[in-house]
Structure 1
């Protein structure tokens, strides 16, 4: 009964007046005791911020336990919490009962109360809206709500938090405008509101903020103009507004006066006019003004020596390349492609560049009117220059400049430490060699993301970052190992770290951190106690993993110290609660009994017995372990947010793929059941077949047919050893579309997939495309009582960035055209080999720009060899129609399949790949088609003639080999 509160008496019915008399008396005593204890104990939450206040109890039973609507409870009531992360927000005092995400501290005011200073509710799958009651947490310094699904507008009262330092609401669905009241946040340094649907004009009044250093509002729906007054912000380091719509406005000249600015990123903002004089910004390191309609010349003044990145591509800039671009010692990337630049290319851009093994320079100048190179055409090591689409490339001797561009090799990196000469596997589990010696220690594993770094290539700055981080968290350099880093959409940089206990040669070294040190390091990351860095920008903590030696630290850190006053309050409350319990125990038992019966019935509805389906086998955990050699790492063939995928061999010799959900994974029981229930009755050659499942011993696994050729994305990567030809890509597109068409029209009831992407299209041994992963799928709408069929399903937005239908994202209305959009993105991947989003570039926009400028073949993947241009154009046009922003402008899936078939039969018979006939054996029959037939034209196809009749016109099935 430690968690019993006044509200527990509410809603128990109007039975037994004597019981309620006792309840009334002792409830009053309980609340009085708690209030008295609170008055004697300074370590409770300020009542205005969230503590429960006793109200006068009336004679009416239903008003027995009315309590004040406090700030934190009001905040919780405005949220939808499907994972029950906030289930302990009804227990005791917020600050002393360890409410999830609530962090309290005493203040210098010493007013006798703890105050809520941090609210960390990030990545909790919360939806709902932001409560105006947030404005009552007047001591709040850090407000983290990022990575959820919150919607609605920004409350005006947020602008009245006088101590707020950091506001992070990025990666939600917040809409509406930015309140002018935010101009009152005089102590705020960080505005992270990117990846939402915030609209309207940026209030010029925000220029009054004296401490603002990071202003991140990229990927929203902002409009109007860029406030010229922002040049008055005295501390601003990063201005990042990419992918908004400031239609027809210019970049204010006053932005040249931003004396402390390090990064200016205004990519794809519909800006026009000239580029201001950026040479007046003394420390500017990163400029991205790409994909606008800027005109005039390139910056002529001498830019800062700190410049690492200049991206002015996809504009209408004219004139020549200024010579001062040759004098930028730290330049990593110069991108001026897709403009109207002319004249000569000065070889001084790359001459005399002496780059070490980690430094790299990339210059992208494609699709301009550049005519020649003045100077040496010999490129130094680690320098890459792309000139394809310029007149200069008519010179056949410039292959190094004019060839097909390859993928950026800086996408990811895995580091190795210096312990290669140590004995193998000499450390026990959870321990490993520290980076500088063969000494076993248990590391702390930390994942962080740099949200707006001021560089393009991390490798030259890796040692600088190590020094910055270790000095910030007060560790030695030898205690840090950067295990890997990878660029993500944004561009943002994810870094995986390991922190080791201190090691001193010939000294008594510890194999683990002590508990105090673990808590100190964890708190420094979580509370942004590490000093800010302009070069590396703001970071976010993604994960802090404590291995077995540190598990007890977590348990101990969750216990709060209690003063005498708090202890007295607990004793009094416990006595009152015990007496009260004796009065109402029968009612509580009855309620618990009913609740348990409900829980049992609910569990019974979701047990294995209720999902047994004919043709889908219920495997035991032992069978799964035997099939994978006890889930040996050598059997692992993939990994996702849900867990790992293993190649398994069943007892009968069948090869299968086993998807094993890890505890706490994104998959969850709902997705597990959804996949079984939706996929089990579906049977189509272009859908991955579900063989069975395992649901025992706390494990959830799905068993599928094994697809030996992996995912489509694997074969589109630059690392693929055997690139797909156009004919094969077209057949993969057909197979994928047919599988989805089956879901939309023939499945009963129809299904919207909701997560179509290149990694969810698998290829079997014959390269037959099969659509996979139905964990996010939804049943299509069914007619209502009047027979009216709704046009959409209203649902929380889920899916993968880059593939999401924009209209679905904005309206939450899922339709069959949402799948059409996602498949259209896959088609663009097939044609270009590009990722949906890479280094901030969106594939739909990039291909549209090339299409509208008449340069569509400049984006076609050169690795697929020769191709019929007319067929490619029609395929590209179809893909772009699938990716129209307006739902009604997209074709239906039936139209997509029909048009793909038309393109297939347009393939020219004179193709050089048609010299051989195609022979296939099926059911003892051998069919040879002449070279003139459409099927025989493609050596990458096999023909299944079973059940077909060439004479009567029943066409055999043609599939990729």
Structure 2
């Protein structure tokens, strides 16, 4: 800008300044709310400095991150209407001063690391409509005061560590539609007072420790659509017959609740689509009445149901899954279940009748190609003489579907690289390059088992509700998770243009984050996991045009000092020039200067202060990269500081790689990057501190104080696999870790596993000019001996199965306690040979105490499959996760929350009930092979 332009602007602004100043003074944030926001920030830990602007100016007029304000004409102040801080890596606690935000309608801290209890003062915010605290580390009990929130529409506290009972006061929430309290440690009786809620749609309290009986009063709920109580302990209770009168019910899920008795009459529920009563102790015959024709899923497996399969289990045109395995059913295999289903496109039917007493099949048993029938474990498989029965009698796992797609176009020229451009695969304009918005999105309780036939309906539903064209939405990938829940990554593209305008971005984000859309009942409730802007830079989460005061605040910031602008111009230019010189000087001191937006930069002085000048007493580890120190930042946060060895070129490359990767990777099973230091010829990476160190230390008899039980080891294996699955399928672009080993799996205070050290990681291959994705990355071999994929070592071709191999070695370490290579012996070869000889139990680590034999058998078998020499013979990481989840569900700890499991696992000798021994025998890990034979336990030969 020229001097003349500066003077002209100054003159104009000088004329307008008095007017703007008058309006701005009249519209500032309520002082009590300013005080509250200051206390809220002080109670939080913000390692990435995402709330840096919370120290500048007035909260509402300065556009603070996460705030939406509203003007109240009666008092002349601006008031905070929305406080939403989604997935900002915040920790610390929730301040009681939240209760002072008396005009708040939305309070959201989703997907952070906030701990402590929920302040009871939140009950003072009578205007609150959405209370969104899910995906944190909150503990303590639920405050009774939440029941005073008379305007509350949605309560989401799921995926925390909240304990204690559900308050009876929740029965006063007369406007609540959604109660999502799943995946916590809630205990005690479900209060029957919840039956007083007149418009409650969804009650999700699965994966808790609730007990007592199922309230029969729930039949009085006039609007209930989803009742999901899986994985609780209502031992001895039966399913109330009154549940058959909940005429609005679409989904009833009571899996693994310890329920007894028979299945009540559910024929009066006209639109029931999803019924899961599996893994209970139900008995009697299968229902002989006719269920709703809307049924998509019926799961009655793992009970003690008897009799034959009645003919009424046909006539379901939308049926996707019928699971009756592991019961006492007899008679003939039905052949008419699929008769009313039209198989076209992606429609499939999965029929699981395994492990019953079915003795015969009809003469003309010929299911269509889209029908899968499983009969393994029935007498019919032993008695039949029909050769084509072999395909029905093989043991098979439950394979959930997942999907992904690419938007490359081999006939188009490459997109520009200055922004995150890519092709919109559905655009009516050929080869249109656009910058999409990325949205992590999860269906929390879908009423279907297979998403593929419903993809078109979902896309139509969502785009209609968001006021978008169908070609603006692209489902990049989706995957079924435990629950079952459907996790997907969506991309929204501009309407036949390259870029969204800012108002459109704000509108879409506001609708999704404010739950202003209601999907079809088929898909159930959703949750927003993240909202990725890509190359877009927009104002923080305040709404455009939300209040006159907010607009004035922006203008006020632009005109500050307008009266003396002509004298300040030179000063501002000189100061900026001076800052650039300082920054340039700092960068010149670095041997490999790195700048990554969104990652906190620490000075060398801060690092030295945190580690007592890198005292030997603070050193907690050392690797090829350098030493690792335990540090304490100024705000009291514990961190691990990895300091590169002086003059290490390799360290420089790893330093850059790890910052760039970890800055965009966010998963509970990946170690978090808190920041970095790159000055004074020093390079340091700052991570969240993991108090329980490395997995290798806990498998070492000399370093470990408390041995890991089998349940703890299995949880660590599952957490590690989930983290790597995220790298392979959810990271964008996907990533190959390349150095998975026990010393790179860290354990937090609750022994949750987190994969670390991404210095050797490589991006997965991208489509070539013809749109083909190569199956590997050609690269120099890197990694650790004993963990290296032999095929990668020989061919230099790195694939996702290379990580699978390395993780399989870790599983063998968890099983045996052995090192990958010791005295020239390779763990894969040694375990494989011993298992083939039938002596598997002789090498199981005796430090883990007692364990379920069937589980350890499956775990070792999975580990060996991961370590097959041939890449194609290994399972995918998705298959590894699913099999580990299946093994976990077989353990007695599957009903407990992670925190409880960790509290009770160490040193515990399990005493299974007589009913559980038949399915899951327990052995002591110090038993020899001969002991097992004499005790009646089978020797295991890996399949």
TM-score tier, shorter chain, comes to: 0.5 to 0.7
Q: Deviations over 1:218-276 (max 9, x none)?
A: 00111111111111111111110000111111111111111111111000111111111
- Please say if 1:670 is aligned against 2:688: yes
Mapping of residues 482-521 of structure 1, within 5 Å: 482-503=475-496, 510-521=497-508
Mapping of residues 203-352 of structure 1, within 5 Å: 203-351=191-339
Q: Report how far residue 482 of structure 1 moved.
A: 0.7
Contact 1:708 1:765 in 2 (8 A): no
- Please say if 1:709 is aligned against 2:694: no
Residue in structure 2 matched with residue 602 of structure 1 by the alignment: 609
Contact 1:737 1:897 in 2 (8 A): no
For 2:325 and 2:55, how far apart are their aligned partners in 1?
58
Q: Report how far residue 709 of structure 1 moved.
A: 2.7
Contact 2:258 2:281 in 1 (8 A): yes
Residue in structure 1 matched with residue 517 of structure 2 by the alignment: 530
Q: 1:492 to 1:348 in 2, by over 3 A?
A: same
Q: Report how far residue 884 of structure 1 moved.
A: 8.8
Contact 2:281 2:303 in 1 (8 A): yes
Question: Which structure ranks higher in relative contact order (CA pairs < 8 Å, sequence separation ≥ 6)?
Answer: 2
2:860 pairs with one of 830, 844, 847: 830
For 2:163 and 2:942, how far apart are their aligned partners in 1?
53
Q: 1:92 to 1:247 in 2, by over 3 A?
A: farther
Q: 1:429 to 1:903 in 2, by over 3 A?
A: farther
- SS of the aligned residue for 1:493 comes to strand
Contact 1:126 1:149 in 2 (8 A): yes
For 2:127 and 2:790, how far apart are their aligned partners in 1?
53
For 1:565 and 1:495, how far apart are their aligned partners in 2?
36
Q: Report how far residue 41 of structure 1 moved.
A: 3.9
Contact 2:809 2:827 in 1 (8 A): no
For 2:808 and 2:240, how far apart are their aligned partners in 1?
46
- Please say if 1:889 is aligned against 2:933: no
For 1:291 and 1:237, how far apart are their aligned partners in 2?
22
- SS of the aligned residue for 1:347 comes to coil
Q: Report how far residue 737 of structure 1 moved.
A: 2.9
Residue in structure 2 matched with residue 951 of structure 1 by the alignment: none
Q: 1:660 to 1:340 in 2, by over 3 A?
A: closer
For 1:97 and 1:885, how far apart are their aligned partners in 2?
51
Residue in structure 1 matched with residue 357 of structure 2 by the alignment: 369
Q: Report how far residue 37 of structure 1 moved.
A: 10
For 1:204 and 1:939, how far apart are their aligned partners in 2?
50
For 2:810 and 2:115, how far apart are their aligned partners in 1?
41
- SS of the aligned residue for 2:460 comes to helix
For 2:352 and 2:237, how far apart are their aligned partners in 1?
27
Q: 1:643 to 1:849 in 2, by over 3 A?
A: closer
2:549 pairs with one of 534, 555, 563: 563
The alignment of Structure 1 onto Structure 2 pairs a total of residues equal to: 698
Q: Report how far residue 377 of structure 1 moved.
A: 2.0
Q: Report how far residue 341 of structure 1 moved.
A: 1.3
Residue in structure 2 matched with residue 462 of structure 1 by the alignment: 455
For 2:674 and 2:930, how far apart are their aligned partners in 1?
42
Residue in structure 2 matched with residue 138 of structure 1 by the alignment: 126
Contact 2:446 2:524 in 1 (8 A): yes
Q: Report how far residue 385 of structure 1 moved.
A: 0.7
Q: Report how far residue 421 of structure 1 moved.
A: 3.9
2:404 pairs with one of 390, 406, 414: 414
Mapping of residues 348-427 of structure 1, within 5 Å: 348-351=336-339, 353-394=341-382, 395-396=384-385, 397-400=387-390, 402-417=392-407, 419-423=409-413
Contact 2:118 2:142 in 1 (8 A): yes
For 2:907 and 2:50, how far apart are their aligned partners in 1?
36
For 1:491 and 1:442, how far apart are their aligned partners in 2?
32
For 1:768 and 1:38, how far apart are their aligned partners in 2?
79
For 1:208 and 1:434, how far apart are their aligned partners in 2?
48
Contact 1:104 1:116 in 2 (8 A): no
Q: 1:486 to 1:596 in 2, by over 3 A?
A: closer
Q: 1:422 to 1:182 in 2, by over 3 A?
A: same
- SS of the aligned residue for 1:829 comes to helix
- SS of the aligned residue for 1:563 comes to helix
For 1:40 and 1:731, how far apart are their aligned partners in 2?
63
Q: 1:841 to 1:906 in 2, by over 3 A?
A: closer
For 1:191 and 1:108, how far apart are their aligned partners in 2?
34
- SS of the aligned residue for 1:392 comes to helix
Q: Deviations over 1:620-642 (max 9, x none)?
A: 8984499799979xx99xx9757
* Rg comparison, structure with higher value: 1
Mapping of residues 614-633 of structure 1, within 5 Å: 617=626, 618=644, 623-624=649-650
Contact 1:80 1:128 in 2 (8 A): no
For 1:939 and 1:309, how far apart are their aligned partners in 2?
33
- SS of the aligned residue for 1:199 comes to strand
For 2:695 and 2:368, how far apart are their aligned partners in 1?
59
- SS of the aligned residue for 1:280 comes to coil
For 1:882 and 1:563, how far apart are their aligned partners in 2?
51
For 1:822 and 1:326, how far apart are their aligned partners in 2?
38
Residue in structure 1 matched with residue 928 of structure 2 by the alignment: 902
Q: Report how far residue 285 of structure 1 moved.
A: 0.9
1:545 pairs with one of 510, 532, 535: 532
- SS of the aligned residue for 1:465 comes to helix
Residue in structure 1 matched with residue 114 of structure 2 by the alignment: 126
Q: What are structure 1's unaligned runs of at least 5 residues?
A: 1-35, 53-69, 504-509, 576-594, 646-658, 692-698, 712-718, 744-762, 771-815, 851-880, 909-936, 941-961
For 2:211 and 2:258, how far apart are their aligned partners in 1?
10
For 1:161 and 1:670, how far apart are their aligned partners in 2?
36
1:478 pairs with one of 471, 474, 483: 471
2:437 pairs with one of 433, 444, 449: 444
Q: Report how far residue 299 of structure 1 moved.
A: 2.1
Contact 2:674 2:686 in 1 (8 A): no
Q: Report how far residue 902 of structure 1 moved.
A: 2.9
2:425 pairs with one of 435, 445, 449: 435
Contact 1:644 1:661 in 2 (8 A): no
Contact 2:815 2:860 in 1 (8 A): no
Mapping of residues 706-745 of structure 1, within 5 Å: 707-709=787-789, 733=812, 736-739=815-818
Q: Deviations over 1:263-308 (max 9, x none)?
A: 1100011111111111211111101000111112222222112111
Q: Report how far residue 350 of structure 1 moved.
A: 3.2
Q: What are structure 2's unaligned runs of at least 5 residues?
A: 1-20, 80-102, 562-601, 627-643, 677-684, 704-738, 745-755, 761-782, 792-799, 833-845, 866-877, 895-900, 912-921, 935-939
- SS of the aligned residue for 1:170 comes to coil
- SS of the aligned residue for 1:346 comes to coil
Q: Deviations over 1:443-469 (max 9, x none)?
A: 111110111000000000000000011
Q: 1:428 to 1:194 in 2, by over 3 A?
A: same
Which deviates more, 348-357 or 297-306? 348-357
Provide the aligned C-alpha RMSD in A. Answer: 5.6
Residue in structure 2 matched with residue 187 of structure 1 by the alignment: 175
Contact 1:454 1:535 in 2 (8 A): yes
Residue in structure 2 matched with residue 754 of structure 1 by the alignment: none
For 1:223 and 1:302, how far apart are their aligned partners in 2?
31
Q: Report how far residue 344 of structure 1 moved.
A: 1.5
Q: Report how far residue 441 of structure 1 moved.
A: 0.9
